[in-house]
Amino acid sequence: MARIAVPKETSAGETRVALIPSLVPLLIKDKHDILIEHGAGLAASHPDEAYVKAGARIVTDAAVLYNEADIVFKVQPPKHDADRLREGSTYIGFFAPLSNPDLVQIFLQRKITAFSMEYIPRITRAQSMDALSSMATVAGYKSVLLATEKLGKMFPLLMTAAGTVPPATVLVLGAGVAGLQAIATAKRLGAKVEAFDVRAAVKEQVKSLGAAFLEMEITENLETAGGYAKEQSAEFLKRQKEVLSARMPKVDVAISTAQVFGKKAPILITEEMVKLMRPGSVIVDLAAEHGGNCELTEPGKTVVKHGVIIIGAVNLPATIPVDASLMYAKNVSNLFKHLYPNAGATPDFADEIAKGACITRNGEVVNEAVKNALQGGSRL
């Protein structure tokens, strides 16, 4: 039996919770004890009473919660709570080790086993644990709603007594999970949607959603074995700039989602491109937290530059906490049940999922990619 603790998130603006009441009985069935910090689920519309009814125990003191926990479920990395984790305990949640080297050091000192949701391998049997894709789905959906709030036009084509209102034109940059959800949402609202991605393989997916795919001759492989986009050559970036510059004067909304895993987001929209856009146009930059796809993006802020509204979107899943928590909690629970299939089990670190997601263990960084990156930056 393990004592699983779910603390209240302490990062500013975070409203999600790592476990929802409906999943508590599934863990109790495997003889685990569930501890929930008082008010942990309140921002996601899950009061303490719902957890108690499901069989969990409410703990009012966070220090006591962490001290009793064998395993901690969290959303955000425990930047403010790392010293509270009991030595030798296990952490499951977002970790961002390359951005939090100090946190890694604390975990090493306290011999904490950390499973990072970002590092779950993108393989078929791990799809139900893929929190990055789940949260990207939420972000892609919300990005379109943000654009509708700021754009001074309606999205659909309308035939009215006062005349015809043309549809808004939306350009989505990057057709990953977030981009595809943005495309689908914009299409549902009646917009004319176009999409651009360096991976030609996503063309069929884009077209299946009813969007046009911006064609560009691609002669280099721009996709990793894991399905992520790779960094591009200078020649490719020049051609890409030409293609996008030709479209910018004709779009009302640009939603950018392009990221390179573990690295700064590529600049797709330069200041010169922003100047080409019509006054009142909107850019929603979903890569803002990682440097931004737009040269003028300010993370966490909405600014107006050259008459264009630029939204530096940060942590959009936290703006839809009910469904975001539902999806994330399911991902975390699925990973936990994979690692601990029964009450007496321990993780099989030879397993591809456990090996890929585990960052620290027994006072060492055991994920080779993270270890090499931290050593290369002299942060380990």
Residue found under tokens 């590092």: 119
Residues 22 and 98 in one domain: yes
Backbone angles phi, psi at 25, to 5 degrees: -60, -30
Q: Are 283 and 256 in contact (CB under 8 A)?
A: yes
Residue found under tokens 């990395």: 77
pLDDT tens, position by position, 183-192: 999 999 999 9
**C-alpha triplet 267, 294, 169: angle, nearest 5°:** 115
Tell me the pTM.
0.92
Which candidate in 228, 232, 239, 245 is catalytic? Answer: 228
Residue found under tokens 């939306």: 170
Residue 130 is among the residues annotated as catalytic for this protein:
yes
Residues 190 and 275 in one domain: yes
Q: What is the pLDDT of residue 235?
A: 81
CB atoms within 10 A of CB 348: 13
Question: Given a cut of 60, is residue 131 above it in pLDDT?
Answer: yes
CA distance 152 to 266: 28
pLDDT tens, position by position, 308-321: 999 999 999 999 99
Residue 208 is classified by DSSP as: H
Residue 84 lies in a domain: yes
Residue 127 is among the residues annotated as catalytic for this protein:
yes
CA distance 366 to 19: 27
Q: Strand, coil or helix: what is 26? A: helix
Residues 225 and 352 in one domain: no
Residues 244 and 113 in one domain: no
CA distance 296 to 275: 11
pLDDT tens, position by position, 15-44: 999 999 999 999 999 999 999 999 999 999
- Residues forming a β-bridge with 285: 256, 312
How many domains does one find in the chain? Answer: 2
CA distance 89 to 67: 9
Domain termination residue (choose one: 283, 314, 345): 314
Which candidate in 48, 81, 130, 252 is catalytic? Answer: 130
Backbone angles phi, psi at 266, to 5 degrees: -75, 145
Domain termination residue (choose one: 261, 293, 314): 314
Which candidate in 3, 86, 122, 239 is catalytic? Answer: 122
pLDDT tens, position by position, 260-300: 887 889 999 999 999 999 999 999 999 999 999 999 999 99
pLDDT tens, position by position, 244-255: 999 999 999 999
In 3D space, the residue among 360, 353, 328 whose CA is nearest the CA of residue 339 turns out to be 353
Residue 141 is among the residues annotated as catalytic for this protein:
no
Which candidate in 22, 127, 233, 375 is catalytic? Answer: 127
Residue 201 is classified by DSSP as: G
Question: Given a cut of 60, is residue 78 above it in pLDDT?
Answer: yes
CA torsion 264-379-377-257 (nearest 10°) is -10
Here the CATH number for the domain that contains residue 79 is 3.40.50.720
Which candidate in 133, 188, 239, 379 is catalytic? Answer: 133
Range of the domain at 145: 136-314
CA distance 60 to 324: 25
Q: What is the pLDDT of residue 345?
A: 85
Residues 310 and 332 in one domain: no
Q: What is the pLDDT of residue 275?
A: 98
Residue found under tokens 């991976």: 199
Q: Are 111 and 88 in contact (CB under 8 A)?
A: yes
**218 pLDDT band (50/70/90 cuts)?**
low
